[in-house]
Structure 1
Amino acid sequence: MVIFIDDRPIRIVKKKELGAIPSKEDFDLVLDARLSPLKVENFSGHTCIINASIEQVEKMLMNLHAKSGVHFHALYIIVDDRKTYKSRIIKMYSLVEAAGGVVVNQQQEVLWMFRLGKWDLPKGKLEKNEKFETAAVREVEEECNVKAELGNKICTTYHTYTHKNKLVLKKTRWYAMKTNFTGKLIPQIEEGIEKVEWLNEKKQIQALTNTYSSIRYVIEKSKLI
């Protein structure tokens, strides 16, 4: 599980997947929660936390939301039972479910859109009783005017934001899609989308320098670059 808080990845990793005790050669900072308090202002670079209780993790995540001026690139929390931690973390937030797509055309270009000063991929919230797969296809058509064929699921991302003084966790399932569409790309202006473009590999690399960490994660998982 990866949660993006202020565009920084917080990874919940099973101890079995990491192996033995993390080496300082792999991380900039390794903290044992049994030996020292988890002060978010002390995190730096790629920080790894071991032996943290779920209560300690919950408190730490709330501190990340509450404090400004925190400087680190990524956080790795090593746990025995990822399922339990994931369930408890989700309950800390108001959950919003969404779906999106990585759409590839016949020229192997990927569908991107430009919104709020950054490159993004088409996605949106589920409607009442709507399935993730249906929502993903619908959002691509609504936001970009492209009809696409649904493929396999790529990954699920979680990112946080504040709405009406409440912490929200947006869960987005991402799907690979293909299309033979050759018509006009029409951005959904009412959703703040300024333009929609097909980007080749070179242009995608440029777009990745001006997008969100969660979107870079999706592209990495899609193995398109």
Structure 2
Amino acid sequence: MKFYVNDYPFEIYAKEDASQISHNDIILGAASAEQVMHYYDLVQKGNIKGKTAFDFVVSNYKKVVSDVKESFKIIEAAGGIASKDDNLLLIHRLGKWDLPKGKMEKGESPEETAVREVEEECGVKVTIGDKIGESWHTYNHKGKKILKCTHWYKMDCVEDSALKPQEEEGIDKVVWLSKEEAEKEIINDSYASIVDIFLKYKSTL
């Protein structure tokens, strides 16, 4: 399981998968859920400086992941990377480049949420394609620890004549960019979890 804390990647590995870990990361062997949350607290308090990744090698993968998740309130969301004429749809929200997404409403499937959110945030009509993957990131809301899981999908735009940013969601731009331009903007000025999903999307093309 991989999740982000203030753009710091935290990844939990089963012991048999430890060979995948980069030696540039901070590696903790025989880790527990308590250790994962200890480093979570250090990052949240600003006690970790510089760019690094935290990798936790565990003996009981399912239990540690379950225990870590129980430390948070889980929220699910969905979004997509929409394409048209070989261009990709990006939004600019709260000072960073981003991809359209939003929280799942009661009774919705991830696919339904993804389509609704992309259409609402960008003023377009889309059809949904294959799932790209999931991203996880944490934040605090009203004193509660939140772990958000976002489901991501490929999409085709079928109508964009009403292209418009949903300003009440903090979006000030909705733009079509070439794949190369989109990659440059996301890598240079977006969130680490968004960079991950974009690169995963790129690997499927």
Same fold by TM-score, threshold 0.5 exceeded? yes
| Contact 2:33-2:65 at 8 Å conserved across structures | no
The alignment's TM-score, normalised by the length of structure 2, stands at: 0.90
Deviations 1:72-97 (A, max 9, x none): 32112122333222211111112211
The count of residues paired between Structure 1 and Structure 2 equals: 203
How far off its partner does 1:103 sit? 0.9
Which is higher, the Rg of structure 1 or of structure 2?
Answer: 1
Maintained 8 Å contact 1:96/1:169: yes
Q: Which residue of 1 aligns with 2:68?
A: 89
Distance 2:19 2:100 in 1: 36
**How far apart, in 1, do the equivalents of 2:81 and 2:26 lie?**
30
Match of 1:153 among 131, 143, 148: 131
Question: For the structure 1 residues 206 and 62, does the alpha-carbon distance in structure 2 shift closer, same or farther, using more than 3 Å as the test?
Answer: same
Unaligned 5+ segments in structure 2 are none
Report the Cα offset of residue 69 of structure 1.
Answer: 4.5
Alignment gaps of 5+ in structure 1: 29-45
Compared CA separation, residues 199 and 80, structure 1 to 2 (3 A): farther
1:52 to 24, 31, 51: 31
Instruction: Answer whether contact 1:13 1:76 (CA < 8 A) is retained.
Output: yes
Residue in 2 that maps onto 1:42 = none
- Give 1:31-180 correspondences, 5 Å limit: 46-105=25-84, 107-180=85-158
Structure 1 length as normaliser, TM-score?
Answer: 0.83
What SS does structure 2 have at the residue aligned with 1:186? coil
8 Å contact kept, 1:47–1:72: no
Seq. identity, %: 38
2:200 is aligned with 1:221 = yes
> Residue 222 of structure 1: CA displacement?
0.8
Amino acid at match of 1:163: H
1:66 Cα offset (Å): 2.9
- Offset of residue 15 of structure 1: 2.7
Q: Is 1:202 the equivalent of 2:198?
A: no
Maintained 8 Å contact 2:15/2:59: yes
Contact 1:162–1:168 at 8 Å: present in 2 too?
Answer: yes
SS state of the match for residue 179, structure 1? strand
* 1:154/1:176 contact within 8 Å kept: yes
Q: Deviations over 1:81-126 (max 9, x none)?
A: 3322221111111221111111111x11111000111000000001
CA distance in 1, matches of 2:49, 2:78: 30
SS in structure 2 of the partner of residue 127 of structure 1:
coil
Which letter maps to 2:42?
Answer: N
Aligned equivalents of 1:81, 1:178: Cα separation in 2: 41
Q: Which amino acid aligns with 2:15?
A: K
Could you tell me which residue of structure 1 aligns to residue 5 of structure 2? Answer: 5
Whether contact under 8 Å (1:4, 1:160) holds in the other structure is yes
Shift of 1:182: 4.2
- 1:173, 1:82 → 2: CA distance? 22
Compared with structure 1, are the counterparts of its residues 68 and 60 closer, same or farther at alpha carbon in structure 2 (3 Å cutoff)?
closer
Q: RMSD of aligned C-alpha atoms?
A: 1.9
Deviations 1:148-176 (A, max 9, x none): 11112111111111111211111111111
CA distance in 1, matches of 2:93, 2:47: 25
